[in-house]
Chain A
Amino acid sequence: QKEVEQNSGPLSVPEGAIASLNCTYSDRGSQSFFWYRQYSGKSPELIMFIYSNGDKEDGRFTAQLNKASQYVSLLIRDSQPSDSATYLCAVKHAGGTSYGKLTFGQGTILTVHP
């Protein structure tokens, strides 16, 4: 089992729709979770992080965390063509020499079509 797994893509949604991106992780001790966006040929940039169960909203983005189910998701409301990118889920290690290290999922490619 991979440490961090994301739903297989690519995901295609029409402009204005809600895009839903999912991620599961294997380490129950993980405490913080990050969503990065990566445009083609560019480096990842942070969208949001979450560490408490429940929802966290920031503009059109909502991150959801369920530690019991080891599941984290990202919702993008009113999707725009400029949201077309690869979305990376990352999990922060909580202890030992790996403390602070982020492990990334394989990414989900999102395409928003006009």
Chain B
Amino acid sequence: DTGVSQNPRHKITKRGQNVTFRCDPISEHNRLYWYRQTLGQGPEFLTYFQNEAQLEKSRLLSDRFSAERPKGSFSTLEIQRTEQGDSAMYLCASSAIPRGTGELFFGEGSRLTVL
């Protein structure tokens, strides 16, 4: 399977703990995006990378959130000192820019529950 892969799929943690999610994009895609989705809402943009460069980060994103894509392949999203409001589905997507239509291919998501 050459789709976008995310893990872990589910994470339950206590408030104040740190969590890390990993995303492996489609191999030939140079763009990698992180979105967050809560119940009843559309995906909310967090950040994106072109190759290893982080080009944009949402102004709404707390400094407790950090993302990396060290070699332009997989990416990690770390949330420090988790809060209950961080509970959400974290979606990773990849695309090929400027080639292709700009369609985002999503992974299955990582669901975070903060107790």
Check A101 against B48 for contact (C-beta < 8 Å).
yes
Check A88 against B43 for contact (C-beta < 8 Å).
yes
Which residue in chain B gives the minimum CB-CB distance to A98? B56
B106 interface residue per 8 A CB criterion: yes
| Chain A residues at the B interface, C-beta cutoff of 8 Å | 4, 6, 32, 34, 42-46, 49, 88, 90, 92, 97-107
Check A103 against B45 for contact (C-beta < 8 Å).
yes
Known A-B contacts A100-B31, A101-B33, A101-B56; the reply to A107 vs B41 at CB < 8 A is yes
Chain B residues near A42 (CB, 8 Å)?
108
Check B101 against A49 for contact (C-beta < 8 Å).
yes
Report the tally of A-B residue pairs with Cβ distances under 8 A: 57
| Chain B residues at the A interface, C-beta cutoff of 8 Å | 31, 33, 35, 40-45, 48, 55-56, 91, 95, 97-98, 101-104, 106-109
Chain B residues near A49 (CB, 8 Å)?
101-103
Which residue in chain B gives the minimum CB-CB distance to A105? B42
Check B104 against A102 for contact (C-beta < 8 Å).
yes
Chain A residues near B40 (CB, 8 Å)?
106-107
Name A's interface SS: strand
Contacts A32-B102, A101-B56, A106-B40 known; list 7 others, CB within 8 Å.
A32-B101, A34-B103, A97-B56, A101-B33, A101-B48, A102-B33, A104-B44
Which single member of B91, B97, B106, B109 contacts A100 (CB below 8 Å)? B97
For the complex of A and B, 5 pairs with smallest distance between CB atoms:
A104-B42, A43-B106, A100-B97, A107-B42, A106-B42
Complex Cα–Cα for A104 and B106 (A): 13
Chain A residues near B45 (CB, 8 Å)?
101-103
